Amino acid sequence: MSFLDEFRHHTWEQMGERIYTKREQDVMRALHKQGRRDLDDFCALISPAADPHLEEMAQLSFRLTRKRFGNTTQLYIPLYLSNECHNICTYCGFSVDNKLERLTLDRDRLLQEVEEIKAQGFKHILLVTGEAMRKVGVDYLAQVLDWIRPHFASITMEVQALEQADYERLIGRGLNSVLIYQETYNSHTYNSYHPKGRKSNMAYRLETPDRLGRAGIHRIGIAALLGLEDWRVDSGFVALHLGYLERRYWRTRYSISLPRLRPAAGCQPPNVIVSDRNFVQLICAYRIYNENVEISLSTRESPAFRDHLLKLGITSMSAGSKTEPGGYTVSDEALEQFEVNDARTPAQVAAMIRSRGFDPVWKDWDIVLE
């Protein structure tokens, strides 16, 4: 059994109806429910009927986040290993049909990036590549883990979907977490955004978190790309997916990201505008739905907006991000994946966090060798 079996019982149209038919009484029931909320509660909280109750949602989200996570906010930074990619993705700067200089970091260049990142204080790192199995496949990723494992307390990857045995191999080399975003759960349009490459196999992509769970990964991150399709319906499927994973792989931690589509060379503009108010509603809904899930916020968002969102349910933030390989040591060498919106330094972001009464955490956890 995998999530694909459950997914086939929920059509895009059914999920939309489940959300858009919610009324004020459904929202109030979700807000004041004692105990764990279910998918219907989440659908009520992201429905248009919940909009007048945004202030109450924000206050509840704040209380639940502080109860579970205290005043800590984890800081992380992405390290782009390669912009090689064999996929066509209409929203991504790395898409194979974009004519750009391609770069994959070798050991020396990678360790230069590592030293720069360490000098900024980071102990938690996110490794990112395009999807090119021949150039940045499992052998390359295993090598990278061997090179950088002594330098970081925890290592996360956002790379192409892999087999369970591949994940088991990388976990053995020190991999702690994997982010695998579905982008959209709309089976009617998925292939229009992914017309070529391994990512065009929607079913394989949907089953990737199952392979991670069976491999025994410490944490799995999931998300939809906000701006491709109706954000409410896609988010309903993210919540459905999260609930399934927590029931089946209960030893694993989970995180949710909220990437809004950002400009990138040769890429489509958003199909759907997700307003700042919509974005706040979604963060609060995720937190009220699940007190334990980690919620991550990237530098796709503006500085002022990120500052405001800190108190609403966010538990981790990227800072000082560069979205091109080699970006921390040499700028403008390769095309970035998307335009960064918050260009503040890590020190400036950490100072902002402290100024609002929170504690920036540079380190997630250590691997203990028995």
pLDDT of residue 335: 55
pLDDT of residue 367: 44
| Amino acid at the residue 125 | I
Interhelix angle 231-248/276-289, rounded to 10 degrees, is 20
- Ranges of residues in the chain with a pLDDT under 70 are 263-267, 331-339, 363-370
Q: Model confidence over 90-127: pLDDT tens digits?
A: 988 888 888 878 999 999 999 999 999 999 999 999 99
Instruction: Tell me the domains of the chain and their CATH numbers.
Output: 54-361 (3.20.20.70)
Residues 6+ apart with CB under 8 A from 28: 53
pLDDT of residue 1: 81
68, 309 in Cβ contact below 8 A?
no
What is the C-alpha separation between 246 and 42, in angstroms, rounded?
Answer: 16
pLDDT of residue 369: 39
209, 222 in Cβ contact below 8 A?
yes
Does this model's pTM top 0.85?
Answer: yes
